[in-house]
């Protein structure tokens, strides 16, 4: 049986009249020789049709790992620290031009970050690394934005600069919006690491979402930290909160 632990996260909040986005949480569980981390965006209202927050839905994630001192840039000068060390189950078979010079320089099979159920079985997905916009009515259908210099990597184990310094992803099936569920959270990412990996990893990301029927998108921003897999424990949440509206 898998047991999930809640790991610490730091987030700054942006809002209009109310801070419907309340920050990040990271859940962790050991499955075989891997530690699985699920990163969630948390909300104070659901997106259930007919409720006050019927338009509470996640739109996109961007500027992953970006170094920027502006509020939308997540307040961490270095942008990210440590190596992600992600492992994958799905594979993209083919030769990849990772530097854009017109000639392949990554060959064979590499894991991908695309959260597409067609790429793997449900069992494989339990211990895979991928990005997603997993809200109500949309388990997958996630696309990578152009900030991924190479859609499937080239370093599939890490979303790393310089090529992917502003990486982002979004809902590729907008007709099925990523509404906030009764659990008041939407999964944005899953990172699988070998439990033998004893390093820690911290990265920023910015969340775009719509709330309370507003047409202007709102943005939540901050960082999350994955501690060494051997240190799974209830760490609680640390919060540094601010409000900002961006048109």
Name which residue leads in pLDDT, 56 or 209: 209
Which H helix or E strand runs over 197?
none
User: Residue 200 burial by CB count (10 A; 0-12/13-18/19+): exposed, middle or buried?
Assistant: middle
Q: Is it the case that residue 204 has pLDDT exceeding 80?
A: yes
Name which residue leads in pLDDT, 96 or 208: 208
Among 170, 139, 167, CA closest to 153: 167
Query: What residues are paired with 144 via a beta bridge?
Result: 169
Task: Kindly give, in sequence order, each residue whose CB lies less than 8 Å from that of residue 96, ignoring residues fewer than 6 positions away.
Answer: 104, 105, 106, 107, 110, 150, 152, 153, 154
Long-range contacts of 230-235 (CB under 8 A, 24+ apart): 230/195, 230/198, 232/5, 232/7, 232/28, 232/29, 232/30, 232/35, 233/5, 234/5, 234/6, 235/6, 235/7, 235/8
Where does the pLDDT of residue 234 fall: very low under 50, low under 70, confident under 90, or very high at 90 and above? Answer: very low
**pLDDT at residue 232, as a whole number:** 45
Query: What residues are paired with 68 via a beta bridge?
Result: 76
What is the end-to-end Cα distance of the chain in Å, rounded?
Answer: 45
Show me where the domains of the chain are located: 5-231
Q: Is it the case that residue 235 has pLDDT exceeding 70?
A: no
pTM of the model: 0.79
**pLDDT at residue 103, as a whole number:** 80
- What average pLDDT does range 15-28 have in this prediction? 73
């Amino acid at each position: 049986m898998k047991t999930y632990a809640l790991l610490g996260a730091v987030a700054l909040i942006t809002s209009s009249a109310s801070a419907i986005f309340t920050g990040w949480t990271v859940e962790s569980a050991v499955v075989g020789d891997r530690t699985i981390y699920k990163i969630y965006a948390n909300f104070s209202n659901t997106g259930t049709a007919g409720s006050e927050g019927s338009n509470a839905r996640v739109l996109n994630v961007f500027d992953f790992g970006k170094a920027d001192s502006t509020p939308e840039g997540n307040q961490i000068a270095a942008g990210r620290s440590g190596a992600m060390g992600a492992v994958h189950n799905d594979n993209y078979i083919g030769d990849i031009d990772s530097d854009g010079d017109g000639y392949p320089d990554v060959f064979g099979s590499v894991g991908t970050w695309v959260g597409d159920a067609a790429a793997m079985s449900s069992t494989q997905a339990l211990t895979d690394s991928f990005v997603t916009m997993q809200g109500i009515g949309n388990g997958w259908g996630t696309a990578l934005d152009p900030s991924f210099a190479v859609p499937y990597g080239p370093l599939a184990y890490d979303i790393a600069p310089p090529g992917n310094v502003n990486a982002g992803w979004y809902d590729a099936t907008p007709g099925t919006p990523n509404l906030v569920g009764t659990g008041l959270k939407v999964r944005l990412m899953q990172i699988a690491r070998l439990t033998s990996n004893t390093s820690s990893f911290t990265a920023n990301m910015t969340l775009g979402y719509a709330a309370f029927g507003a047409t202007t998108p709102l943005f939540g921003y901050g960082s999350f930290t994955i501690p060494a897999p051997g240190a799974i424990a209830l760490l609680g949440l640390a919060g540094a909160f601010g409000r900002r509206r961006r048109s």
